C-alpha cells in the first residue's frame, strides 16, 4: 500500500513538473515574438487567427489576463504601443474586435479593458446565442493614465492624455486631456496646458529637499 502511494505521489509530481515546463516554453515563445516584456505569471491567450503586438519598452505585469479571439465579425487584435506599462492582475479581452493601447500609457492594477460584448435585447433567446453587441472595439490614446479597478467598456475611445480615476466605469468616449471619475464616468477636470503649469519631474527624478536653516 505504501509503495502504491509513493508511485501516486511520484506521478503527481511528474505531471505538475511537466505542466510547469510546458507553460514555461509557451511563455518563452510569446516573449520572443514581441518587442516588449511579459512577466512570468501573465496569461496571454491569442488565437492563431488574431494579432498581438507589444511595443518596445512596454510591459505586461504578473497575473494579467489577455484573451484575444475571433468573433462573429472576424479576428480580434491587440496592439500596445511603445513605453506603456500594464500592471498586475488586469483583464484585457476582445472577441472579433480591435483593442488598441497607445504609447506612454500607465495602466494600474485590476483594470478591465473589454473590446467586445454580447447582444442581449431579445427575451426569447439566450444571451450567449444573440451574437456580439453593436458596440465593438476599444481605443486608448497616448499618454493615458488609468487608475486601479477601472472598467472600460466596448465602443469607447479614450483620447490622448486623459486620466481615469480609480474605480471608474467608462461607458462613453473620454475627451483628450480630460480627467474623469465615477460610475458611469463623467468629466471632473482637465489637465492644464504645459504653458500654464510647471511640469513636474519624471518618476524617480525628483529633486531632494534641503534644509534652509
The mean per-residue pLDDT over the stretch 42-48 comes to 88
The answer to whether the beta carbons of residues 71 and 77 sit under 8 Å apart is no
pLDDT, residue 4, reads 61
Give yes or no: 118 in active site: yes
Q: Return all residues near 28 (Cβ < 8 A) that are at least 6 apart.
A: none
Which among 87, 105, 83, 84 has a CA at the least distance from the CA of 159? 105
pLDDT, residue 121, reads 82
| Residue 206 binned pLDDT confidence (cut-offs 50, 70, 90) | very low
Please state whether the peptide bond connecting residue 75 to the residue before it is cis, i.e. omega within 30 degrees of 0: no
Beta-bridged to residue 136, according to DSSP, are none
- For residues 114 and 66, give the distance between their C-alpha atoms in angstroms, rounded to a whole number: 10
The answer to whether the beta carbons of residues 96 and 74 sit under 8 Å apart is yes
> Measuring CA to CA, how many Å separate 126 from each of 72, 114, 118, 180?
16, 21, 10, 35
pLDDT (tens digit per residue) in 115-139: 988 888 888 889 888 877 778 899 9
Is 80 exceeded by the pLDDT of residue 213?
A: no
Q: Which of 62, 104, 118, 126 is catalytic?
A: 118
- In the DSSP assignment, the letter for residue 168 is -
Query: Of all residues in the chain, what percent carry a pLDDT higher than 90?
Result: 53
Q: Is the dihedral of CA 28, 34, 38, 41 positive or negative?
A: negative
Q: Show the domains of the chain with their CATH numbers.
A: 34-119+126-191 (2.160.10.10)
Which of the listed ranges 9-13, 36-40, 176-180 does the model predict with the highest average pLDDT?
176-180
Is 50 exceeded by the pLDDT of residue 212?
A: no
Beta-bridged to residue 179, according to DSSP, are 163, 189
Q: Would you give the distance in Å from CA 140 to the centre of its chain? A: 10
As to burial, measured by CB atoms within 10 angstroms (0-12 exposed, 13-18 middle, 19+ buried), residue 55 is middle
pLDDT, residue 175, reads 98
Amino acid at each position: 500500500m505504501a509503495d502504491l502511494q509513493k508511485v501516486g505521489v511520484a506521478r503527481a509530481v511528474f505531471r505538475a513538473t511537466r505542466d510547469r515546463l510546458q507553460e514555461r516554453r509557451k511563455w518563452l515563445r510569446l516573449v520572443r515574438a514581441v518587442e516588449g516584456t511579459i512577466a512570468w505569471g501573465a496569461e496571454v491567450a491569442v488565437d492563431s487567427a488574431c494579432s498581438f503586438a507589444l511595443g518596445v519598452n512596454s510591459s505586461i505585469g504578473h497575473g494579467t489576463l489577455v484573451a484575444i479571439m475571433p468573433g462573429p465579425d472576424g479576428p480580434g487584435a491587440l496592439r500596445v504601443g511603445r513605453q506603456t506599462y500594464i500592471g498586475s492582475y488586469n483583464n484585457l479581452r476582445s472577441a472579433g474586435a480591435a483593442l488598441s493601447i497607445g504609447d506612454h500609457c500607465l495602466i494600474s492594477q485590476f483594470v478591465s479593458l473589454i473590446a467586445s460584448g454580447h447582444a442581449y435585447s431579445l427575451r426569447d433567446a439566450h444571451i450567449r446565442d444573440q451574437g456580439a453587441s453593436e458596440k465593438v472595439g476599444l481605443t486608448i490614446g497616448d499618454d493615458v493614465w488609468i487608475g486601479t479597478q477601472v472598467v472600460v467598456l466596448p465602443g469607447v475611445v479614450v483620447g490622448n492624455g486623459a486620466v481615469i480615476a480609480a474605480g471608474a466605469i467608462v461607458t462613453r468616449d473620454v475627451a483628450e486631456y480630460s480627467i474623469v471619475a465615477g460610475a458611469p464616468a463623467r468629466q471632473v477636470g482637465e489637465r492644464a496646458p504645459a504653458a500654464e503649469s510647471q511640469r513636474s519631474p519624471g518618476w524617480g527624478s525628483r529633486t531632494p529637499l534641503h534644509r534652509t536653516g
